[in-house]
Structure 1
Amino acid sequence: MELWERSAALDRLDDLLRRAGDGGRVALVSGEAGLGKSAVVGEFARRCGSRARVLWGACDRLVTPRVLGPLRDIGRQTGGALAARLDAGAAPGEVFAAFLDELSGPRQRARPVVVVEDAHWADEATLDWLMFLGRRVDRVAALLVLTYRDDELGPEHPLRGALAALPSRAVDRIALAPLSPETVAEQARRAGRDPVVVHRLTGGNPLLVTELLKTGAAEVPAAVQDLILDRMRALPAAARELAQLVSVVPTRADGALVADAPDPVDEAIAGGVLVPSGDGVAFRHELLRGAVENALSPARRAALHRRVLEVLAGVAGVDPGRLVHHAVNAGDGGAVLRYGRIAGAGAGRQGAHREAAAHYRAAVEHAARLDPPDRAALLEEYAGQAYLAGLHDEGLRARHAALALRESLRQPDLIGENLRWISRLAWWTGDAQLSRQAAGQAVTVAAERGGEQQLATAYGNLAQLSCLTYELDEAVGWGERARAVAERLGDLDTALSATISVETARLALGAPGAREALETAHRTAAAHGLTEHAARALGNIAGVLADELARYSDAVAATEAVGAYAATHNLDGWALYVLGVRSRLRLERAEWDDALTDADEIIARCGGAGINAVLPLAVKGRILAARGHRDAPATLDAGLREALRVNAVQFVAPVADGRSEYFLWAGDPRRAQREALRGLELAATVDGQPFVTGRLAYRYRRAGGTGPLPESIARPYRLMIDGEWRAAAEEWASRGGTYLRAEALAAGDEPAALEALRLYDDLGAAKPADRLRAELRRRGVARVPRGPRRATAAHAAGLTPRQADVLGLLIEGLTNAEIAARLTLSAKTVDHHISAVLAKLGVTSRAQAVAVAHRRNLGGAGRLP
């Protein structure tokens, strides 16, 4: 098989296979559709021969992706324990362990090569498996080859996170490029075609070049998509109809779909339309399949999907997600309802909560066909998966609909359950009033019409809500009542939830042993499969350490722990929360570019609204304000809007902090005082939080406020207020608060202030640096450093200093590894910066970013020479 201009890629794959013996490797083969990713990997697999055992799986372009699709393909290839656990719907951990056992195998077995095609269509569970395998690849001496379309990976595409989590030391990127004009011209001349026309129509895309040169028509078609349609028209009617049927089946058509048409299959293959694939047939590429499918009339397309659905529904072991895909496209509401519930339940069991919610969402559209009890149950299942996937608005709407049905059926226990979930989901969406109202209603319903178990869970919900609003003594009281009843009834779920609320409140109050109790609760919850409780226990440790206790160094490990747990179990809501905590930590630890990367990701994923948006908006607003960016006030305004929807201290305080800072730098100290007082007045209504109160009190005094201050002010802030800068700086250093340490040093003697100034300059924090320079001149300091050139704060694309550096190196053509080495960063951090650059430039690939940089004259905007 001839592959034009792909020998270098094949050589690199061959080299990686050799090196995998000294520690596994990961090859990321990327490029736009039709550049030959599958062809390169297929040729590499052929050349491996007996040297390697190739295990091959693919992701499909379905309405909702198959859960663990490529791993299921591999399971059919290997059989054994892996296939058995997949068929049994075992938990992801058991399936992944079986796969590792399959890779390890006997020593005499050839080296494993694991191929996953089209990873840009992967589901959540598959991405988890890839990260699981990537972290262990060096222990199994395997080569993992992933192909994906890099032009389809937007900044927030989930595959980006999975790729960033792979060990950089083991990853090699093989980016395929279009064919050179010289190669296209040579092949065109051989086929008797006009080289200029061929290159203009194909852009050097190998698939399109091949298809264009294969056409026997005298006239070159106006569009390359017409190639496959011309070939279709040349087929006999039966073969053409069969090819149309195959066109509505992503990836390949099973043998069962074409078993009764052997002659049309042969004719379609002979006519260059289809190729053999496993026990069935397929188009040579998804581009070609899509061209045929898109040419069908809507009625014809729906009819073909109905035929596929009828056949596949009778095939044992077919993934229900595929049946949902064809049912949706066939417009068969009954089938969508039937298979959507099956697929949703299966995806949920395997931890693919986003896919589960998508299947349930499709089923709910046809729920009117169900009796009220079944309809309510479907809505509750949907809401549960939506919550775990972080789709809180969806979950809230589903719970409201379920509540109405349960009320009409007069089922108090299920009415109470839905009210508790409405309370929880309303909080996450930012509706504190509804959250409180539903929580109170749940207690009333349980007390009047429910039993002890319902009352315990209602109490537990109030305990959790009281934690969130800093009513910590109430949280302990409600939690202890809930735990006592739950333990007497043997209700581990409710007892654990109450325990987590109680110990979180105690940790925030500084009680000894609270952190250890939360860690124990995490282990117990994890051991019993209560993943949301397990994540909450770890997440609360991280959040309290970062916010209420200001133990920033300790919070780093805690944040990483809960982030890893949430990612492993596809708890997207908790993953967003953890990113918010991490963005705050990175701000305080003077890791501002990384803080902005985290904040931008959260804001994009939650649409800039709801509870999860508040902290990242506050973090981003503070950094933009410090850097003098024009978007700072709008960002802080958005943060205030979302914070006031909840009107809880833990959300209002960080926004008030940032806004007070901003107005002080803007030369409006009275407004800065009012913003600090906004937070202080709210903080006075809840249990004392010395670090939350202390920060706001410091901002108030810093802006010239002379009114009385609260008693509850944490020691380092009290030191700063009292002018004891050296002791305050030492305290912040011991806590890992690098930026706060700089604030303390700025009030100190000349060497201390100059040290603070250097940090401000390194961060690109122009506003505090300007203020400090002016202060030093007022003090009579003779040599005040001028500071760096202000290219970044006013950067035409709004890039941070580090992002501008990264863009400059992209323009130079450096790889991620080379950028990491030049800037002394990790490969993962470079990936984050590149994602942020692409987002701010409004592009989806490195090449597009470079083109925009040249067009807008953005080169050299960073700090690098």
Structure 2
Amino acid sequence: MELWERTSVLDVLDDLLRGSSGGGRIALVAGEAGLGKSSLVTEFARRCGTRARVLWGGCDRMVTPRALGPLHDIGRQTGGLLADRLNAYGAQEEIFTAFLDELTGPRQRPRPVVVVEDAHWADGATLDWLAFLGRRIGRLSALLVVTYRDDEVGVEHPLRGTLASLPSTIVRRVTLPPLSEACVAEQARRMGRDAGTIHRLTGGNPLLVTELLKTDGDAVPGAVQDLILDRLRALPSPARELAQLVAVIPTRADAAIVASASELVDLCIGAGVLVPAGDGVSYRHELLRNAVEDSLSPARRASLHQRALGILSQVTGIDPSRLVHHARLAGDSAAVLRHARTAGADAARQGAHREAAAHYQAAAATADRLPEPQRAELLEAYAVEAHLTGLYKEGLQARQTALAIREALGQPEEAGENLRWISRLAWLTGRATLAWETAARAVTLLEAGPPSRRLAMAYSNQSQLYMLAYKFDQAVTWGERARELAERLGDLDTAIHVTINVNTARLADGDTDAWTAMEQTHERAAAHGFFEHGARALSNLGNIAADELAQYAAAASPIDRVLEYAKRHDLDGWIHHILGTRARIRMERGDWSGALADADAALRRMGLLGVGAVWPLIVRGRIQAAGGHPEALSTLDEAARQAAGIRDAQFVLPVAAARSEYFLWYGDTERAQEEARRGLALALSVSRQPFVIGRIAYALWRAGGTDPLPATIAAPYQMMITGDWDGAAKEWARRGAVFLRAKALSGGDRSAAVEALRILDGLGATVAAEHLRAELRVRGLSRIPRGPRRATAANVAGLTARQVDVLALLADGLSNAQIAQRLTLSAKTVEHHVSAVLQKLGVANRAQAAAAAHRMNLQEGEAGRQGDPR
């Protein structure tokens, strides 16, 4: 097959293959649908000939992706140990090790080329495998080629984190461009077609160019749907029905689907509707298959899915996730229940937690058909995966239902386990009373039976609740009880869990040796496959460093590490917590656009629910308040409502400090004192951490409160209160706290105050800066610099005035060309401005930028001011 304008890219792949003899290489082939990624790698594989052994796998577009889909494809090619491990649904480590053994086989084998197609549809376990392979391929003589649609991989797409984790020194990114106008014109000329029309309709997309040029006559269809549907209508009815059946099967139809219809297959291939694919058939491209599938009526589509389900369920060794896909779209609830439990268990074993949760959720919808013990087991399995993927409310409901079943069946051990899980999920959803009640019930119920791992974990859960409530002595006491029982039973899972509790309590209480212990616990958890524990160890380390120790620079490293770790291990339930922590670290360090991007991403993932929402709301509310956003108070009100449900001081106190700060800036000093005074009373009743007490004590003093302040205030806060602004500023600088340094400098002489204003103006903190300017005038300081012009100061994302202009028009829906015309700029300059705006706002596309503009009140640009009579 002739490939147009792809010679240079094929040469790049060929160079990488040659270079892989001295160590592995990775090629990331990106482009929109229809640009020829599959054709490119197919041609490359052909050119490899005997030089390489090509192992080929693909990801499918299914309701719930199949776990390790590409590896299953490769396992069918290789057979041997890899196939055995996959067919037995072995643990991730076993499967990945078997794959490495396959790559490092006998020396006489040709060099391996591993192709993974359509990685934008990859499941979590496949992303784990890619990350695993990426970290090791540099030591192998192999080439990994990954194709994906870059226009479908946004900022939060799981693939983005995986690609970022690949070693940059061996990665080559290859982006396929559309065909040039000259190329399209040449192909159109050969076929006697109008070049301008072809290019205008296709944009240089090779698939569309090819399909349009294959049509007969002078009339050119306006869309790809017309192309394939016209060919479909020309087929005899039986062949058309076969093509429609193939259209509801992602990627390709197996031999079993078309085994008894060889003549019809030939008709479809001859008409250009289908193409041979392995031992079956497929559409030339997913765009074409989607077009046919979308053209079917809902009833017809469901009927075809039912037919595919009937055929594939008879195939030995079929991936159960494929059966679930067809069962769900056929509306066959009995088949969903039957196959989704198997698919969920397989996905969970392979570390694909998002997919496992989706399968179990589908099965749970009709779980009342099962006998009660099996129904409880299904709900409990679903709750575990829901917890790992952040579906806390759903997991809590599943556990509560399972508890009722276990109690009715008279199963105290299982009931106790459910009570412990309910406690954890209730805390995560902001239901503190339920969390403490069920934690105590779990211990009481399980202590009535023999010593068990469930009892050890119930003890550890109590330790964790006390640790989270700043009751560190009780946390250690319960922790020691859990550790002793876990070690006696050989329960490594609980032993690691409780070690994290105890060391978190020690570190928050000032024992700096616990930092190293937490790092070691993370490594131990990861080495033994307890990936959630590994995430919690690093996450707690970053949280304590930021909150209780105020070491913002030091906190950044473990948080950045754990974010990549959580993405790599498909721990969605942790990602929004980590983003909330990173948001507050970034805010204190002066990266407000990054802080807002993290806060917004966390809230998009979690919504306004419990623990995961509090810190993102605090960060968003403080930045909104500093920049004069009208929604600031309502954001902080919501943060207060969420924190009240949790009750723990670690959430209530930062909200109180943020609200006191808001009322101070907006002139209500009485309310500012009230918020801080109430917070200080709580802090003194539950905490002995100097920075926890110092943060709220400083807020009270700053609001004009004359209350006696406790002696247990951290040094930099104490220095700010006693007037040692220079010492405080230096200490905050050492800790990486840009915003707190500005607050310290604001209490100094003129040069210090000017520096504070420079920081605040640079952050876009217009209200905070104007409040400081008013204070300086009262203090009698002269020659205080004015703030920046409103167009820049009105935003908190660090945009220039011209970027604000561009964003205003972008938010109105104007194209780059229209923006260029309106602002008298070149299209290229506008393109650069738009790119900078997206980067500063931390968003992936124009729609998200427009939404951020309206949300943060950033849309006041020169274009908007032209019609302002003021």
Tell me, yes or no, whether TM beats 0.5: yes
CA 1:18–1:521 in 2, change beyond 3 Å: closer, same or farther? closer
Residues 316-356 of structure 1, C-alpha deviations (whole Å, 9 max, x = no match): 33221112112222333332222211111111111111100
3-state DSSP of counterpart to 1:685:
helix
Q: Which residue of 2 aligns with 1:391?
A: 391
Q: Which residue of 2 aligns with 1:308?
A: 308
User: Is the 2:161–2:567 contact (alpha carbons within 8 Å) kept by the matching residues of 1?
Assistant: no
User: Is the 2:719–2:725 contact (alpha carbons within 8 Å) kept by the matching residues of 1?
Assistant: yes
Q: Which residue of 2 aligns with 1:536?
A: 536
- What percentage of residue pairs aligned between the two structures are identical? 61
d(CA) in 2 for partners of 1:66, 1:327: 14
Q: Which residue of 2 aligns with 1:749?
A: 749
TM-fit CA distance, 1:239: 2.6
TM-fit CA distance, 1:110: 5.5
Letter in structure 2 aligned against 1:653: L
Q: Which residue of 2 aligns with 1:232?
A: 232
> Which one is further off, 628-637 or 426-435?
628-637
TM-fit CA distance, 1:243: 1.7
Q: Which residue of 2 aligns with 1:148?
A: 148
How does 1:476-515 map onto structure 2 within 5 Å? 476-511=476-511, 513-515=513-515
Q: Which residue of 1 aligns with 2:680?
A: 680
Letter in structure 2 aligned against 1:736: G
How does 1:55-66 map onto structure 2 within 5 Å? 55-66=55-66
Letter in structure 1 aligned against 2:56: W
Q: Which residue of 2 aligns with 1:405?
A: 405
3-state DSSP of counterpart to 1:672:
helix
d(CA) in 2 for partners of 1:562, 1:699: 31
> Which one is further off, 806-815 or 309-318?
806-815
Q: Which residue of 2 aligns with 1:643?
A: 643
Residues 797-824 of structure 1, C-alpha deviations (whole Å, 9 max, x = no match): x754399969989978999xx999x99x
TM-score w.r.t. structure 1 length? Answer: 0.88
d(CA) in 1 for partners of 2:684, 2:846: 42
> Which one is further off, 516-525 or 304-313?
516-525
> Is 1:699–2:699 an aligned residue pair?
yes
CA 1:629–1:265 in 2, change beyond 3 Å: closer, same or farther? same
How does 1:135-534 map onto structure 2 within 5 Å? 135-140=135-140, 142-168=142-168, 170-179=170-179, 184=184, 187-188=187-188, 190-193=190-193, 198=198, 201-216=201-216, 220-221=220-221, 223-447=223-447, 454-511=454-511, 513-534=513-534
> Is 1:839–2:839 an aligned residue pair?
no
Residues 16-39 of structure 1, C-alpha deviations (whole Å, 9 max, x = no match): 556666775544433332233322
User: Is the 2:798–2:840 contact (alpha carbons within 8 Å) kept by the matching residues of 1?
Assistant: no
Q: Which residue of 2 aligns with 1:849?
A: none
d(CA) in 2 for partners of 1:525, 1:483: 15
Q: Which residue of 1 aligns with 2:819?
A: none
Q: Which residue of 1 aligns with 2:577?
A: 577
User: Is the 1:382–1:398 contact (alpha carbons within 8 Å) kept by the matching residues of 2?
Assistant: yes
d(CA) in 2 for partners of 1:370, 1:463: 36
How does 1:667-746 map onto structure 2 within 5 Å? 667-746=667-746
User: Is the 1:52–1:111 contact (alpha carbons within 8 Å) kept by the matching residues of 2?
Assistant: yes
d(CA) in 1 for partners of 2:752, 2:404: 64
CA 1:310–1:421 in 2, change beyond 3 Å: closer, same or farther? same
3-state DSSP of counterpart to 2:791:
coil
CA 1:179–1:423 in 2, change beyond 3 Å: closer, same or farther? same
3-state DSSP of counterpart to 1:62:
coil
Letter in structure 1 aligned against 2:571: L
d(CA) in 2 for partners of 1:711, 1:531: 41
d(CA) in 2 for partners of 1:636, 1:506: 31
d(CA) in 1 for partners of 2:249, 2:804: 42
Residues 86-134 of structure 1, C-alpha deviations (whole Å, 9 max, x = no match): 3343333343344445445667765554332222211111222233344
CA 1:23–1:856 in 2, change beyond 3 Å: closer, same or farther? farther
What 5-or-longer segments of structure 1 have no aligned partner? 844-851, 860-865
Residues 827-853 of structure 1, C-alpha deviations (whole Å, 9 max, x = no match): xx969935387623359xxxxxxxx99
Residues 592-629 of structure 1, C-alpha deviations (whole Å, 9 max, x = no match): 33222222221111124321111122122222333334
d(CA) in 1 for partners of 2:143, 2:718: 57
d(CA) in 1 for partners of 2:7, 2:56: 22
d(CA) in 1 for partners of 2:221, 2:29: 31
User: Is the 1:693–1:713 contact (alpha carbons within 8 Å) kept by the matching residues of 2?
Assistant: yes
d(CA) in 2 for partners of 1:533, 1:803: 46
Letter in structure 2 aligned against 1:700: L
Q: Which residue of 2 aligns with 1:38?
A: 38
3-state DSSP of counterpart to 2:685:
coil
TM-score w.r.t. structure 2 length? Answer: 0.88
Residues 497-543 of structure 1, C-alpha deviations (whole Å, 9 max, x = no match): 33332332222112364334444444444444333333323322222
CA 1:686–1:29 in 2, change beyond 3 Å: closer, same or farther? same
3-state DSSP of counterpart to 2:435:
helix
Residues 668-726 of structure 1, C-alpha deviations (whole Å, 9 max, x = no match): 22222223234223323313232112101101111111123234322221121111122
CA 1:329–1:308 in 2, change beyond 3 Å: closer, same or farther? same
User: Is the 1:459–1:482 contact (alpha carbons within 8 Å) kept by the matching residues of 2?
Assistant: yes
User: Is the 1:803–1:834 contact (alpha carbons within 8 Å) kept by the matching residues of 2?
Assistant: no
TM-fit CA distance, 1:3: 3.6
> Which one is further off, 251-260 or 161-170?
161-170
What 5-or-longer segments of structure 2 have no aligned partner? 811-815, 817-825, 853-857, 866-870
TM-fit CA distance, 1:490: 4.1
User: Is the 1:164–1:831 contact (alpha carbons within 8 Å) kept by the matching residues of 2?
Assistant: no
TM-fit CA distance, 1:371: 0.3
d(CA) in 2 for partners of 1:94, 1:452: 29
> What value does the CA root-mean-square deviation take over the aligned residues?
3.7
Letter in structure 2 aligned against 1:840: A
TM-fit CA distance, 1:199: 5.3
User: Is the 2:599–2:616 contact (alpha carbons within 8 Å) kept by the matching residues of 1?
Assistant: yes
CA 1:530–1:221 in 2, change beyond 3 Å: closer, same or farther? closer
